[in-house]
Structure 1
Amino acid sequence: MKVEVQESIRKASQKPLPSSINELVEKNQDYSMYPFHSIGDDQVFKGYSSLADWICSQKTVLIDGYAGTLWNNIAAALEKEFKKRNLEVNWVKTADYLKPDTDIDRLVDPFLGTPDSVWGTKTTLILEDFFQLETLSAQQPDQKTAINIGIGTGAALLNWEAPIIYFDLPKNEVKYRMRGGSVSNLGKTGLANEEQMYKRFYFVDWVVLNRHKQNIKDQITAIADGQILPEPNWAMFGAIKNGLHKLSTSVFRALPWFEAGAWGGQWLKQHISELNQEEVNYAWSFELITPENGLVFESNGHLLEISFDFLMFQENEAVLGKHAEQFKFEFPIRFDFLDTFDGGNLSIQCHPSLKYIQEQFGETITQDETYYILDCKEDAGVYIGFQEDIQPEVFKAELEHSFNSGEEVGIEKYVQKLPAHQHDFFLIPNGTVHSAGTNNLVLEISATPYIFTFKMYDWVRPDLNGNPRPINIEHAFNNLNFERKGEKVREELVSKPKLLSSGADWEIIHLPTHPDHFYDVERLEFSTTIDVKTENLCHVLMLVEGDGLAIETADGTTAAFHFAETFVVPAAANSYKLINKGNNKAKVIKAFLKTKD
C-alpha cells in the first residue's frame, strides 16, 4: 500500500496541528493559535508502534473513524509494525462492503437540493444505510489468525465483541484534504467539484457520522488524531473523557482556524504572527464555530485534537446548564472574526427566518447575528437596514439586472450605511439586510448556524479562484424584513449600552440584543479584578481591550488569555474571577443565553 505524506494530501495555507508542544513557536505570543489543555502525565501516546503494541494485547480490535481518514495509510503503517513482530493479521475493510456508488448517490440525492444550489437539507439517513449490511455483518474474526482488525468508517457496525479505536478528524482538515483531492464523500470513489463535495459533507456525511459517533461513544476504548502524519497521537478514551469532564466544570478554549476570502483583510495577518504571511488575506477566523472546532489535549508534550462534539455528547448539561434541554447537543453561540482591513465589503446579504431554515434546510436554530466592532479605521462603516423610501420591487429588479449584466448597483440608494467605531454593537436578527464594510475587524457574535447567507449583491467580483460567487436573490426576498428601514434602524439595530452595576474599579455594561436574539451580551470593564457567577448559564468571553487577563474558576483551575482570544466558562463552573494582567483597563465581552425568568 502507498503511504501518503502530509504535503501531498492537503491544500491549505494553515499548517496542521503540531504533534508536540516542542513544535510550537517559542516566543512571547500576542495570540495563541494552538491552545491546549493538559491532562496529566502518560495519557497521550505517539505513533503506530505503541498503538500496535496495545492492539497486540487485545488481539481483536475495530478501528472506526471520521470521513477523510486515510485508512490505507493506517492499515499500511500497522501492517509494517505487525510484520516486525512476525504477526499475521486478518483485515476486514468496511470500504469493501459499501453499497455501489450509484446506489449511494440515489440515497443522498434528495438531501442535496438542486445542482446549482449552495444548500441541501440535513439528512435523515444513518450510517447503516450506506452499507450492504447483511454482508458486512457476516464478516467475523478469524480465530486462526493472531490479530483481527476491522478497519474503516463504520467498523463498529461489524458488532464484534472487541474494543473500538476511533480515529477522529477535524472538519477543517477534511476540507483541506478535499481541496487536495485526497479524500471524497462517504461512499464515493470519485471526486466532484469542491462546492458539491462540501455540500454533501455538510448535509449528509457529517450528519450521518456525528450520529454514528454519538451512538458508539460509550463503546470507544481508544481515540487517535487522524490529522497528524505520518505518526498519529492517541490516548485511552477514558483519559479523554476525564479531560472533557474537567473542561465542563472550569474553562476552555477551542482550537481556532482561519480562511481567506474574496473580501478578506490584513488585520489578522498583522496581529497573529503564526499565521501564514504569504496567504493573500484572511477573511474569517473560526474562533468558536463548534460544528467545525476541536479541543486539544496534552500529555508528556504530545498533542491530540478531538472534535467539539465529544464534549457536548458527554457534558451538555454541565456546559449549557439551564439550556441543556432546549439545545441538546448543539452549542448555540458562535464567535468568529470578519476581517475587512484593507480588504473589501462583505456581500449585501440576509439570513433565513427560523421557520424557513427549519423547513428548507433541516436546521433547528437560525442564523441570528450581531457585529461587535473590535477594531476599525476612521472610514469604516456597516451596511444595515433599508432606506426609508425602499421599494422592494425596484430593489429586486436592479439586483437581478446587476446579476445578469455585471453592472454595479448604487447600493446606498437602498441600504443604509452607518459609521462604525470601536466597540459599537450592531444587531442583525434574521431577515435584516446587512454587510460589514471595508476596514473593520468584526467580532461576529451569533447563533451557531454559519453557512446560510443569502447574498443579493457581491460588488460584481469573483472569488479567489476567479469564479462567480453564488447570488441568492430569491432566497433573500423570501426572508427580507422591509420594515427595518429609516430611523427604525438606528433605534432598533444599534445597541444602546446601559450600566448594570459597578464597584470601586469595575463596571458591568449591558449591550442589549434584539428581542429576536436568544442570546444577550454584556461588557465587563475592570482595572484589577472582577468576580462573576455563571448562574447556571454558559458564558462565552473575549478580551476586547487590554493586554491580557487571567481567570480562576471555582474549582481552582487557572488560565491566561490574550487580547482577541475566545474562551468559554461552562455553566457548571459556578463562578470565576477575571484578573487584569495589563496596565490599562480590561474590557471583556460576555455572551450568554437569555432566560425567561
Structure 2
Amino acid sequence: MNSNYPNKQTFYTEYMELQLRKSSQFLMPVKLNRSATIEGNYNIYPAQPIGENKIFNGYESLTRWIIEQKTVIIDGYTGVFWDRVKLILQKQIEAEGLKVNWIETAAFLKPVSEIETLVQPYLGAEDSVWGTKCLLEIKDLYVFEDLAAQLPDDGCDINIVIGTAASLVNWDSPIIYIDIPKNELQYRMRGNSVTNLGNDQIQEPFLMYKRFYFVDWVLLNQHKKAILDKITVLADGQWPTDINWMLATDFKDGLNKISQSTIRVRPWFEPGAWGGQWIKQHILNVNEDVVNYAWSFELIVPENGLVFESDGYLLEASFDFLMFYNQKKVLGKHAEKFGDEFPIRFDFLDTYDGGNLSIQCHPKLKYIQEIFGETITQDETYYILDCEKDAHVYLGFQENIDPEIFRNELEKSQDEGIEVNITDYIQSHSAKKHDLFLIPNGTVHSAGAGNLVLEISATPYIFTFKMYDWLRLDLDGNPRPINIDHAFNNLNFERKGNRVQEELISTPKVLETGKDWELIHLPTHADHFYDVHRIDFDSEVRIETDSCCHVMMLVEGESIRIETADGSNQIFAYAETFVVPAAANSYKITNLGKSKAKVVKAFLK
C-alpha cells in the first residue's frame, strides 16, 4: 500500500474510483501524508509550500464560493469528468434551497463528423503514431456564435457555464479553471473513461494520444493562454470525487516565488517493453507491483505538472502556466528565442536488469519542422547515472556501413522475423558511470541493457524512428511500430568509424578548480543548443546564473541544499531533477552527505 494513504478505508475508496483509470501508478493524494516523505530521499510528490489557507479542499467549499458569485464560468482541460463535477455541485447548490441554471459547452460542439473533418489533416496516416501540430483555434470545434450568445437566466439564483472552452461565452463573470495532469488524462484515456475533445467514441490509445498531442493539447494550451488573466480560481481535477482549489492571485504568487528560487516538477513513471529494475529498487513510494519501469518523466514539461502545498493539501497545475506567466524569469536571456517553450528535457531510461532500447534515430531540424510542425528537434545525450559491469550503448555506424545493405537487412527482419546481428552495422561502446554519449539528430543509437540513463535532451520527446526492436512485443503483446522510411530520411551515415569516438563521446575537461571543488565541462556536439557541466565538490560551491536557466541533478552523493539569492532553501536528494531559473541570479550548493557530491548542470549555449 502506498504510504501516502493514511488508512485502508481511504485506500479502498480511492481504489474503487481508480477503475476509471488504467495505470499501475498511484493517484496523487489529496492531502500529503508528511510521515511518508523523508527529507533527503527521492520524493515522488515534490510540492512548493505557499503558506497557510491558500489551498481549499472539497466541492463543499467551492460551492460556497460559487454561491457568493452567483454567476460563474467553469472552464478546464479535456479529460475532466464534467458530468461528475456538475452533479456534485448541483446537489450541494440545491441542498441550499437554490435554483441553478446550467449551460454545458458540450451541447455546442459541432457534429463529430464535422470535427473529424476539421482535425483530420493534422493526424497523418491512420497507422502512423505522428501527425502535425494543429493550426485551428478551439472555437473552430464549437458553434461559436451560439455559445457566445448564451445569457444568464434571471429566474435562477445561480448561473453556471460549464465545460471545456466555457470562457468562449460572452459573460463578465469569474472563471474557475479545472486543470488535470497529463499523466492522469492518459490513465483515463487507457481506462476508456474519456474521449478526445469533440469525439464521442473510444479509440485505440495510440490514436487518442496522437490526437491529444497534435490537436487537443495545442488548442487547449492556446485557449488557456488566451484566458490566463481572466482566471479567478484554479482547481485540480485529478481526483474523481474530490477537488482542491485556490485563488489565481495566490497561484501567481507561488509561480513568482519558484521562478526566482528553485523549480521541481512532479515526476511520473511508466513500464515498457525494455524496462528495468533500478527505479523500483531506488525510488521510494512508487508502485513495486509492476513488471518494470522503463521511463521516469523527470522534466518533460509538456506532460509534467507543478505541485503547490498549503495546510497539507496539494494542487497540481501544468508547467505551461509557469512559462505563460514567467518565461523571462525562467529563461532569462533565452526567453526571446524560446518563448513559452521550455527547451531542455531530463528523463530516465531504465534498462537495469532490462533489455535494449530499439535501434533508432531522431529527425533533422528541417524535417521535424516541415513534417510535424515542431520548432526544435529531438537532439539528445545519454548521461550514465548508473550501470552494470557489462553495460553498453549502441552509437554510430561501423566504418564499412553500406546504407542499402543495412536497409535491406532491416526490412527482411521486419517482414520475415529474422534477427539482425546489429553490431555488423552499428558500434557498441562500453558504458560506465558519468559517461556522456552525444546523440545529435540523425544519429543511430540505442541504450543497451544494464543502464540507468539520464537522458539530457531537447524537449521534443515522441519523435523516435525505430529501425529494429529485437523482434519483441510490447507489454500488451502487440508488435511495436517500426519506422524505417522515416529513419532513412534522417540518418547521417557519415557518423561512422573513428568519427564516433571523436565526435559523439564527450571528453571531460576541467574548467575551474577551488579548494575542494572542480567545474568540469562535458562538451556536447556542435548541433546541440545546450551544454553540460558537472560540479564535483566536498562542502559547498557558489554559482551565478548569468541570466541563464540551469537544469540540474545530483548524480552522485546523498543530498544537497540549494540556497538562492532571495533567501529560499530547498533540499534535493540523489537523482532528483530541479531547475534554477535565470532570475535566481546566484545560488549556493551545500553538500549534506558524507561523500563527494557531483551535480550535473545543463544550460542553453
Deviation at 1:300, TM superposition (A): 1.2
Letter in 2 for 1:155: A
Deviation at 1:30, TM superposition (A): 2.5
> Do residues 328 (structure 1) and 339 (structure 2) align?
yes
TM-score normalised by length of structure 1: 0.98
Give the alignment partner of residue 154 of structure 2, picking from 121, 139, 143.
143
Contact 2:277 2:292 in 1 (8 A): yes
Which of residues 8, 15, 23 in structure 2 aligns to 1:12?
Answer: 23
Matches within 5 A, 1:114-513: 114-513=125-524
Deviation at 1:27, TM superposition (A): 4.8
Show the 5 A alignment for 1:33-72. Answer: 33-72=44-83
Sort the Cα spacing of 1:485 and 1:579 in 2 relative to 1 into closer, same or farther, 3 A. Answer: same
Alpha-carbon displacement from aligned partner over 1:469-493 (angstroms, at most 9, x marks no partner):
0000000000000000001000000
In structure 2, distance between residues paired with 1:556 and 1:88: 50
> In 1, are the aligned partners of 2:94 and 2:100 still within 8 Å (CA)?
no
Q: 1:537-570 deviations in whole A, cap 9, x for unaligned?
A: 0000000000110010000000000000000000
CA drift of 1:134 comes to 1.6
Contact 2:323 2:342 survives alignment (8 Å): yes
Kindly provide the amino acid, as one letter, of the partner of residue 114 in structure 1: A
In the alignment, the residues of structure 2 paired with residue 186 and residue 90 of structure 1 have an alpha-carbon distance, to the nearest angstrom, of 24
Q: Number of aligned pairs?
A: 592
2:94 counterpart of 1:87: no
Deviations 1:8-57, CA, capped at 9 Å, x for gaps: 21011111211111376255663100000011111100001110100011
What per-residue deviation string (whole Å, max 9, x for no partner) do you get for residues 123-142 of structure 1?
Answer: 00110000011221221100
Contact 1:18 1:24 in 2 (8 A): no
**1:312 counterpart SS class:** helix
> In 2, are the aligned partners of 1:5 and 1:229 still within 8 Å (CA)?
no
How far apart are 1:228 and its partner, in Å? 2.1
Does structure 2 conserve the Cα–Cα contact (< 8 Å) formed by 1:66 and 1:209?
Answer: yes
Structure 2 gaps of 5+ residues are 1-13
Q: Answer yes or no: is the 8 Å Cα contact 1:214–1:313 preserved in 2.
A: yes
Superposed CA offset, 1:371-401 (max 9, x none): 0000001100000000000000000000000
Whole-Å separation in 1 of the counterparts to 2:15 and 2:149: 31
Structure 1: gaps spanning 5 or more residues:
none
* Larger deviation, residues 564-573 vs 76-85: 76-85
Corresponding residue number in structure 2 for 1:549: 560
Residue 366 of structure 1 and its aligned partner are, at CA, apart by 0.1
SS of aligned partner of 2:227: helix
Instruction: Return the TM-score normalized by structure 2.
Output: 0.97
Q: CA deviation at 1:501?
A: 0.2
Structure 2 Cα separation of the partners of residues 20 and 211 of structure 1: 31
Per the TM alignment, residue 273 of structure 1 is displaced from its structure 2 partner at its CA by: 2.6
Task: State the distance in 2 between where 1:349 and 1:480 align.
Answer: 9
Q: Which whole-Å CA distance do the structure 2 matches of 1:4 and 1:376 have between them?
A: 36
Percent sequence identity over aligned pairs = 62
- Provide the secondary structure at the position in 2 that maps to 1:311: helix
Q: Does the 8 A contact of 1:64 with 1:167 survive in 2?
A: yes
Please tell me whether the aligned partners of residues 30 and 271 of structure 1 are also in contact (alpha carbons under 8 angstroms). no
| In 2: Cα distance, 1:476 partner to 1:535 partner | 39
- Answer with 88-97 or 18-27: which moved more: 18-27
Task: Measure the CA separation in 2 of the matches of 1:251 and 1:30.
Answer: 17
| Contact 2:40 2:571 (C-alpha < 8 Å) held by counterparts | no
In structure 2, what is the Cα distance between the partners aligned to 1:430 and 1:4?
Answer: 43
- Per-residue CA deviation, residues 356-382 of structure 1 (Å, 9 max, x unaligned), is 000000000000000000000110000
Q: 1:514 pairs with 514, 518, 525, which one?
A: 525
Q: Report the 3-state secondary structure (helix = DSSP H, G, I; strand = E; otherwise coil) of the residue aligned with 1:363.
A: coil
Structure 1 segments (4+ residues) deviating >3 Å: 26-29
Letter in 1 for 2:423: E
- Tell me, in whole angstroms, the C-alpha distance in 2 between the residues paired with 1:330 and 1:6: 34
- What's the secondary structure of 1:21's corresponding residue? coil
C-alpha distance after superposition, 1:425-480 (max 9, x if no partner): 00000000000000000000000000000000000000000000000000000000
Taking the TM superposition and a 5 Å limit, the aligned residue runs for 1:24-39 are: 25-27=36-38, 30-39=41-50
- In the alignment, the residues of structure 2 paired with residue 199 and residue 224 of structure 1 have an alpha-carbon distance, to the nearest angstrom, of 26
Q: Distance in 1 between matches of 2:36 and 2:204?
A: 36
CA contact (8 A) 2:82 2:163 kept: yes
